[in-house]
């Protein structure tokens, strides 16, 4: 007959009595799960950890190195495994946060490079235009002047101004038609922001 005292359980474990392991599992499993839950705050993680411990305890025959009471050993083992689990989880979390931060920085750098490329395209496209056409686009789209005010300042009719704008936008589209990542409107938005805020 198997007695449930730690000393008897340990002695019978060393003698290869499988029933002793079952008795020890039944005696300590639930209370060890509660102890693990205190650290891990997850019932599923706590149960997995305790079950894994018992499997290794049996397969690696860890009980052969023990003497006397085993209760203290069981609780210390679960506590240490919980702390290791927490440290591993924290390290993984920090690694994930580091990866996310690097990806965010890379995205920011890519976005900055994209804005700079768009600005260069816009600057070059405007510089290549005739002076009046460039002036018409600048006054209407960058300085937000009304058609009539822009036309008066340039000394031309509104229809002439509209013609300059139409040809100018068409010219811009032609300049960037091979730049699939850019659109005319997108470039104008970026250029306007850079123009207004001088960035």
In a domain? residue 100: no
The answer on 11 and 88 residing in a single domain is yes
| Residues 133 and 87 both lie in one domain | no
Pair (87, 14) in one structural domain: yes
87, 138: one domain: no
Give domain status of residue 17, yes or no.
yes
Per-residue confidence (pLDDT) for residue 182, from 0 to 100:
46
Residue 108 lies in a domain: no
Cα 3 from Cα 13, distance rounded (Å)? 12
Supply the pTM of this predicted model: 0.44
What pLDDT was estimated at residue 181? 45
Same domain, 86 and 148: no
> Is 98 within the bounds of a domain?
no
Query: Tens digits of per-residue pLDDT, 101-145?
Result: 666 655 566 666 666 666 677 777 778 888 888 888 888 877 788
Total domain count, the chain = 2
Pick from 90, 100, 95, 62: nearest CA to 78: 62
For the chain, where are the alpha helices, taking DSSP H only? 6-14, 18-40, 43-59, 71-127, 131-137, 147-154, 158-176, 184-197
Q: What is the pLDDT of residues 157-180, one digit of tens each?
A: 888 888 888 888 777 777 666 554
Res 179: pLDDT: 53
Same domain, 59 and 138: no
Domain of 78 in residue numbering reads as: 6-93
| CATH number for 138 | 1.10.10
For residues 117 and 106, what is the distance between their CA atoms, to the nearest angstrom? 16
d(CA 8, CA 2): 7
For residue 86, give the CATH number of its domain: 1.10.1740.10
């Amino acid at each position: 007959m198997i007695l449930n005292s730690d000393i008897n359980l340990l002695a019978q474990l060393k003698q290869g009595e499988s029933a002793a392991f079952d008795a020890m599992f039944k005696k300590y499993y639930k209370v060890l799960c509660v102890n693990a839950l205190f650290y891990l705050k997850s019932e599923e993680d706590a149960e997995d950890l305790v079950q894994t411990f018992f499997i290794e305890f049996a397969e690696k025959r860890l009980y052969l190195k023990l003497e006397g009471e085993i209760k203290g050993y069981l609780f210390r083992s679960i506590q240490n495994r919980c702390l290791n689990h927490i440290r591993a989880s924290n390290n993984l979390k920090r690694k994930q946060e580091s990866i996310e931060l690097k990806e965010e920085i890379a995205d920011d750098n890519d976005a900055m490079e994209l804005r700079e490329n768009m600005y260069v395209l816009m600057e070059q496209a405007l510089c290549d235009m005739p002076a009046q056409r460039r002036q018409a686009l600048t006054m209407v789209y960058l300085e937000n002047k009304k058609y009539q005010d822009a036309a008066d300042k340039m000394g031309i009719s509104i229809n002439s101004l509209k013609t300059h704008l139409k040809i100018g936008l068409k010219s811009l589209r032609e300049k960037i038609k091979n730049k699939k990542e850019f659109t005319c409107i997108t470039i104008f938005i970026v250029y306007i922001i850079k123009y207004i805020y001088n960035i």
